Every structure is written in structure tokens, then in C-alpha cells.
């Protein structure tokens, strides 16, 4: 068992994590481990992780950590520990031991693939692509070359992706056919997007479309120069922003020459409110969601909220495979915890959002800040306020590039031949455009 009587780590960073465990703060210890610079002594990392795993009741990780602490130079112990870390959702801890396992056993494809998986979980796609290129002589076409193309795209290296995609033969196993088709669509979207977008390291709209087929309607007017690149961190949403998003959705549909005949209302309250407003803006009838309905715009405020509503998981499953003419629009999409299905259209990207009808913050009588009360008025009344709101964009801090609606519609016109194609599989990565994460 891992107890306080064990040899304590000598590394100052690891010792801080050990102290957090002495205080019973497992999350704090894991945060300290994430912040520790590489490399760290793997045997000492295993000591700390073993204690944390024991406290959390993760017996598999505890055993793997104990084996690595006892035999830190053994490829199998390194692999087993890395594998357990990936399985328990702490992939950042898996990368150093898996890298070392692969160095000790360079022909071990299991170690290579697990290392690539850990890199992907951490959005370190450049390193994933590089390690696959370094082992090209040993790897299999499926899945390894496929994974090389996948990670090259997410690293923003379309030249590398296209070169290896051209070398990728048809899969022998039909299980890979959906992945092949999805990758084909990604590269076709990239070809179209290049004609209308820079696809550089600040082009969040272009890359959002390439990696997931999502058209991003608006850019955050704050923090662009500080690295947010058009994404929001925390947002207290407004009726004005909701209206602006719906007007941009209307412009997107017109530019794409998509003509829905109805608005479909999802069951969670935020989606119902926004859907009722959308029906007025688009001049379409509003109807409860029906998975088989064609030529409709499905309106979600936040798909993660939809997933947590009554019948939410069932509806999310039904949205995975599109029906003809169906467009899935999400107003506020979390880019650090992406929804289980990828929307076709999004108003904005956020890390944390409070809906206009939620219990947001307000100024107190003494000039401070205090929690507000949720808006419990009828859905129809709030929807009417959205329709009557002011869609004038927030000028922000002046660092975000101008983004008139014409720039959005020009982009949609260029890519409309590849929009609304294929399934809506989840995209966990934020792609080549890096933004700071605060949550």
C-alpha cells in the first residue's frame, strides 16, 4: 500500500504534490503533477501517482504505479503504468513513461499507439504526428498511417496529411471504413476552406470547419491578441448576442442555399427559448423535435445541457446520423468540453457560459458583485425579448479582426459544397488554433 511512511520524492515539484496528498487533496496533487516540468524521475512520479490512485480507489493504477516504482527501467512496467494513466483520464502522466517504453522497445506498436493516444488526449498533435513519422518503417497502414494523417491535420500540417493520405490504401477491415470516409471529408473541407480562409494559427473559423464541418458564426471581441483567437473564456450571455447569432444563422442558410421548412425544438429550456426566437427570425413554424423530420433547423442553446435533459441522451444519439435537409445549430458551444455530437453551425465558442435567463452575476447595492436570480418567465416571453434585442456587435477591446457578416457568407459560399455531409461524430480536439484554458 502507498502510505505516508513511504520514501518521499526528492524532486521539489513532486514533493509539493506529495504534500497535497498529505492534506488529502488528490485533485491538488494531480494539478501539481501537471505543472511539473519534464523530465521528472519516473519512479518518484509513480510513488506520488500510486498514493493518489489508492486514495481514489483506482486499484489498477495503484498496482501499475507500484510496479513502476519498483522497476523503473522495465519497458513493460513503463507501458502498464502509461496505459493505466490513459485509462484513468490522466494522459499527461502517461506520456513520459510511454515515451521511455518506446525508446527501450522501439518495435512495440502497442507502446507507440498508446503514446499517440495520450498525445491526442492532451491535444499534442504535432508530437503525435512526429512520433508516428519516426516509426513509419514499423507501423501498420491501419491504424497507424491513418492516425498520422489525423494528427497532421489537427496539428495544422496539411502538406504532411495529404502526403500520407495519398499513401493510405483501402482498409482490409470494414471497421475502418467510417474512419476513412470521415478523413476523406476532412481533407475535402480543407481544400474548399483554403480558397476562403487563411488556415493559419489564428483562423479559428477555418479550422473549426475543417476538423468538424462546423460553421462558426461569430468571434469573441475580447482577448484575440492575448491568444483567445476568437474564443470566449467565461461569458455571461445576453439577449443581444442570441439575436446576433440567429441573424448570422439566417445569413449562413441563405449563403449555403439551404431552405428549411421548420424549426425543431429540443426539450431543454434554453433550447426551447432560443428555438422559439429562431422560428420568428427565420419565419418558420416551430415544432417539437422529431428525429425523422427532414428540411429542419434543430436549435440548441448548449448541446451539453441538452444531453443532460430528459430524453437528452436518446436525442443526442439520434442527432449523430443526419437526415436530409437537417441543420443542427448550437448557440454556445463549449470548446474545452465538446458536445457528444458536432453541430453544423455555432454562434460562439466558450469555456463557461451563463445563459441570459440563468442565475448570473449582478452589481450589488454596495458596488460589488453578487449572484442574480434566474429568469423564470414563460419561454415565449423571453423569446420575444430576444427577437426585440439589439444585434449590434460588442466592440470589445479593439484587437479582434473585423468580422462583418459578408466575410462569414463569403466563407460559407466557398465551402457549401462540402457542408452538411456525413455523420456528426464528436471532435474532442480544438485543432491547430491554440487558446489558453482557464477551467
pLDDT for 322-374, tens place per residue? Answer: 999 999 999 999 999 999 999 999 999 999 999 999 987 666 666 666 778 99
**pTM value?**
0.93
Report how far apart the first and last C-alpha atoms of the chain are (Å, whole number).
33
| Residue 257 to residue 371: CA distance in whole angstroms | 44
Peptide bond before residue 39 is cis, with ω within 30 degrees of 0: yes
For residues 96 and 115, the answer to whether their CB atoms sit within 8 Å is no
Residues with Cβ within 8 Å of residue 92, at least 6 apart in sequence: 33, 34, 118, 122
Residue 369: its H or E element: strand 369-371
What is the DSSP secondary-structure string of 188-203? HHHHHHTTT---STT-
Q: In the prediction, which pLDDT does 264 show?
A: 98
Helices (H), 198-341: 204-212, 239-255, 269-282, 303-308, 312-320
Task: Give the residue extent of every domain in the chain.
Answer: 12-122, 200-415
Helices (H), 336-396: 379-387
| Residue 208 to residue 193: CA distance in whole angstroms | 10
Domain 200-415 belongs to what architecture? Answer: 3-Layer(aba) Sandwich (3.40)
Residues with Cβ within 8 Å of residue 425, at least 6 apart in sequence: 182, 320, 341, 342
| Residue 162 to residue 61: CA distance in whole angstroms | 38
Q: In the prediction, which pLDDT does 9 show?
A: 79
| Residue 263 to residue 191: CA distance in whole angstroms | 31
Q: In the prediction, which pLDDT does 257 show?
A: 98
For residues 11 and 44, the answer to whether their CB atoms sit within 8 Å is yes
Alpha carbon of residue 241 to chain centroid:
22
| Residue numbers in the chain where pLDDT is lower than 70 | 1-7, 361-369, 439
Helices (H), 57-157: 59-70, 75-87, 91-104, 109-121, 125-134, 146-154
Cell of 325: 435537409
SS percent in the chain: helix, strand, coil, step 5: 50, 10, 40
Q: In the prediction, which pLDDT does 359 show?
A: 86
Q: What angle is formed at CA 391 by the lines to CA 267 and CA 308, rounded to 5 degrees?
A: 20
Report the phi/psi class of residue 234: left, alpha or beta, with left for phi > 0 and alpha for psi in -120 to 50: beta
The CATH superfamily holding the domain 12-122 is Tetratricopeptide repeat domain (1.25.40.10)
Cell of 295: 428540411
| Residue 172 to residue 318: CA distance in whole angstroms | 29
Residues in the chain: 439
| Residue 413 to residue 212: CA distance in whole angstroms | 17
For residues 139 and 112, the answer to whether their CB atoms sit within 8 Å is yes
| Residue 421 to residue 84: CA distance in whole angstroms | 36
Closest CA to 383 of 251, 247, 239, 265: 239
Are 12-122 and 200-415 equal in CATH topology?
Answer: no
What is the DSSP secondary-structure string of 144-175? IIHHHHHHHHHTT-HHHHHHHHHH-PPPSSGG
Closest CA to 141 of 111, 171, 113, 106: 171
| Residue 104 to residue 77: CA distance in whole angstroms | 11
Strand partners, 263: 286, 297
Amino acid at each position: 500500500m502507498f502510505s505516508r511512511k513511504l520514501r518521499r520524492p526528492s524532486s521539489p515539484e513532486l514533493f509539493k504534490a506529495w504534500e497535497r496528498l498529505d492534506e488529502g487533496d488528490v485533485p491538488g496533487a494531480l494539478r501539481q503533477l501537471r505543472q511539473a516540468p519534464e523530465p521528472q524521475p519516473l519512479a518518484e512520479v509513480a510513488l506520488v501517482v500510486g498514493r493518489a490512485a489508492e486514495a481514489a480507489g483506482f486499484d489498477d493504477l495503484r498496482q501499475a504505479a507500484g510496479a513502476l516504482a519498483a522497476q523503473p527501467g522495465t519497458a513493460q512496467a513503463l507501458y502498464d503504468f502509461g496505459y493505466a494513466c490513459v485509462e484513468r483520464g490522466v494522459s499527461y502522466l502517461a506520456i513520459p513513461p510511454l515515451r521511455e517504453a518506446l525508446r527501450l522497445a522501439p518495435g512495440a506498436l502497442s507502446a507507440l499507439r498508446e503514446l499517440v493516444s495520450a498525445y491526442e488526449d492532451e491535444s499534442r498533435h504535432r508530437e503525435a504526428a512526429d512520433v508516428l513519422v519516426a516509426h513509419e518503417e514499423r507501423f501498420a497502414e491501419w491504424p497507424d498511417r491513418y492516425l498520422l494523417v489525423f494528427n497532421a491535420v489537427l496539428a495544422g500540417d496539411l502538406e504532411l496529411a495529404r502526403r500520407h493520405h495519398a499513401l493510405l490504401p483501402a482498409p482490409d477491415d470494414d471497421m475502418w471504413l467510417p474512419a476513412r470516409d470521415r478523413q476523406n471529408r476532412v481533407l475535402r473541407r480543407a481544400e474548399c476552406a483554403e480558397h476562403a480562409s487563411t488556415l493559419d494559427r489564428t483562423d479559428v473559423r477555418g479550422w473549426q470547419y475543417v476538423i468538424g464541418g462546423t460553421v462558426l458564426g461569430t468571434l469573441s471581441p475580447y482577448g484575440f491578441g492575448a491568444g483567445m483567437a476568437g474564443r470566449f473564456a467565461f461569458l455571461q450571455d445576453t439577449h443581444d448576442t442570441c439575436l446576433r447569432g440567429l441573424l448570422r444563422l439566417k445569413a449562413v442558410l441563405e449563403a449555403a442555399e439551404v431552405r428549411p421548412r421548420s424549426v425543431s425544438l429540443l426539450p431543454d429550456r434554453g433550447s426551447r427559448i432560443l428555438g422559439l426566437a429562431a422560428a420568428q427570425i427565420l419565419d418558420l413554424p416551430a415544432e417539437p423535435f422529431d428525429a425523422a423530420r427532414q428540411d429542419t433547423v434543430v436549435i440548441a442553446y448548449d448541446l451539453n445541457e441538452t444531453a443532460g435533459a430528459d430524453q437528452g441522451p436518446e436525442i443526442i444519439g439520434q442527432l449523430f446520423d443526419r437526415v436530409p435537409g437537417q441543420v443542427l445549430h448550437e448557440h454556445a458551444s463549449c470548446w474545452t468540453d465538446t458536445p457528444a455530437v458536432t453541430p453544423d453551425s455555432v454562434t460562439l465558442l466558450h469555456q463557461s457560459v451563463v445563459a441570459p435567463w440563468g442565475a448570473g452575476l449582478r452589481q450589488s447595492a454596495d458596488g460589488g458583485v453578487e449572484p442574480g436570480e434566474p429568469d423564470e418567465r414563460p419561454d415565449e416571453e423571453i423569446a420575444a425579448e430576444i427577437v426585440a434585442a439589439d444585434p449590434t456587435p460588442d466592440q470589445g477591446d479593439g484587437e479582434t479582426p473585423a468580422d462583418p457578416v459578408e466575410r462569414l457568407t463569403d466563407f460559407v459560399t466557398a465551402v457549401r459544397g462540402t457542408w452538411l455531409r456525413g455523420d456528426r461524430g464528436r471532435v474532442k480536439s480544438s485543432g491547430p488554433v491554440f487558446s489558453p484554458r482557464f477551467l
